[in-house]
Structure 1
């Protein structure tokens, strides 16, 4: 059966191309026909496919501070004097956890050069030192936004059929990776057409799978999903992708116990270790020990520059009064940050 389907697809592609090659103007007027299953080099759908399969450079911004390229594994960094080998994406969490745990005013992260960086089009260059990396990072920012589509991904393998118009020759390609897909469409010339063997499957950023039956479905899905998630294309590596509404619900669900307080470069944690904060729906927040010393203030959340913020205000209680950026929201831990010398960590205590 698979062989029969493949042969039918080749015939459809060949018939479509013959019609295109011999009667170009009529092809443009055809609607709802099999020609719509072929993809030309300069078409909108070809551009969306390239964007979806291009290299994502934003996942390692904690290291290179640039979203238009990524550092190739393996490499080594030195974070606050600790050497860390980076062999996969999961190893980047080691850097973040080490820097988050540090009480240093200025965290230091150094890359061991030389390194190789890969751009969105999968081209690679060797970078010999920090100065050269910073120049390329600035060029990345100055060159405009990162236009890759990271909110949805192809599920491989995928079978493609290609047709050379001049020679009227067809062939089959088995695509296994984003790199393979990008290469097919980036090298697609004007005298060639491509078609998919449908159905194909794509995965959204939340893990939901979408089954695609034709080109129209594919184009509509890629257009709809390309702006449906935070692609982390800024250099805030601590952005853990949560909304203002999610933060509000998190704060009001359970009391929060103070775990760390660093203000103006001074560690004031010890005097607050037994204190709790209770956030209320009316905008008030109660700060106390388990039994006494109640202090009431106000709170509200907001979003600015893509970050979710928490404003705390207490009368004559400066260690907590400020406009904080919420940079980590885990199941049982929330972390606040303001400038280099101010951090607060709160543990969720739903058992109280």
Structure 2
């Protein structure tokens, strides 16, 4: 373990010496794996929930927050075809009695994957799958990150060290997936800021603070 730790410290030091403007942002400890926020499954789940795609803006059409219909699209609304280009166009749909999308449509799931839906049967099946819990839908709407967010990353297999900068929710969600797939050591660079459901801005200084803030505000999520 001491030899492995020495190897990691030397590897990081070498990289930092070649880039004079880069400060050491990745902490290396006796158990560096535990120092990676990716090893905290609770924290990873919470961060992905905060950054997941929110499909609730078109619930008047599908009644499902597991996905949303990609703009632009059309619907037959109480017998008349209507064209929609953005979320604000959908407000009046909550007053309609009958709404049917004009197929084909493309939908984006909470995990940002997309698929094309070609008919009403497939659309209804998708809604049923969401209602039954078969689709990922851990979206946390009462907490939002203020970007950018920096994450220091070390690859123990290649000795590569870098700082990733995420500038929106999709990049953060997918970035975490990529880091998990590659078995990286990663640390969020604090402080970071979030806004909570009331619009208040909070500064967060550690992984434990981040978990606490998100968990405390979960009761206020719709």
TM over 0.5: yes
Matches within 5 A, 1:324-343: none
- Asked if 1:164 corresponds to 2:180, the answer is no
- Asked if 1:112 corresponds to 2:102, the answer is yes
Superposition deviation, residue 41 in structure 1: 4.3
> Where has structure 1 moved over 6 Å in runs of 4 or more?
none
Q: Deviations over 1:293-320 (max 9, x none)?
A: xxxxxxxxxxxxxxxxxxxxxxxxxxxx
Q: TM-score, normalised by structure 1?
A: 0.53
Q: Which residue of 2 aligns with 1:125?
A: 115
Q: Which residue of 1 aligns with 2:56?
A: 58
CA distance in 1, matches of 2:123, 2:37: 38
CA distance in 2, matches of 1:210, 1:86: 35
Whichever structure has more helix as a proportion of its residues is 2
CA distance in 2, matches of 1:132, 1:40: 36
Superposed CA RMSD:
2.3
The secondary structure found in structure 2 opposite 1:84 is strand
Superposition deviation, residue 83 in structure 1: 2.9
Matches within 5 A, 1:181-260: 181-189=172-180, 191-230=183-222
Q: Which residue of 2 aligns with 1:83?
A: 81
Does structure 2 conserve the Cα–Cα contact (< 8 Å) formed by 1:84 and 1:95? no
CA distance in 2, matches of 1:8, 1:91: 47
CA distance 1:41–1:89, shift in 2 (3 Å): farther
CA distance in 2, matches of 1:198, 1:4: 21
- Asked if 1:8 corresponds to 2:24, the answer is yes
Does structure 2 conserve the Cα–Cα contact (< 8 Å) formed by 1:151 and 1:205? yes
The secondary structure found in structure 2 opposite 1:8 is coil
Does structure 1 conserve the Cα–Cα contact (< 8 Å) formed by 2:66 and 2:130? yes
Does structure 2 conserve the Cα–Cα contact (< 8 Å) formed by 1:41 and 1:188? no
Structure showing greater radius of gyration is 1
**Structure 2: segments with no counterpart, 5+ residues:** 1-18
Structure number with the bigger relative contact order (C-alpha 8 A, sep ≥ 6) is: 2
Q: Which of residues 105, 129, 132 in structure 2 aligns to 1:142?
A: 132
The secondary structure found in structure 2 opposite 1:66 is coil
**Structure 1: segments with no counterpart, 5+ residues:** 28-34, 100-106, 231-352
CA distance in 1, matches of 2:219, 2:175: 24
Superposition deviation, residue 132 in structure 1: 0.9
Superposition deviation, residue 143 in structure 1: 2.2
Q: How many residues align?
A: 202
CA distance in 2, matches of 1:40, 1:72: 31
Superposition deviation, residue 4 in structure 1: 8.9
Q: Which residue of 2 aligns with 1:271?
A: none
Does structure 1 conserve the Cα–Cα contact (< 8 Å) formed by 2:140 and 2:221? no
The secondary structure found in structure 2 opposite 1:67 is coil
CA distance 1:191–1:81, shift in 2 (3 Å): closer
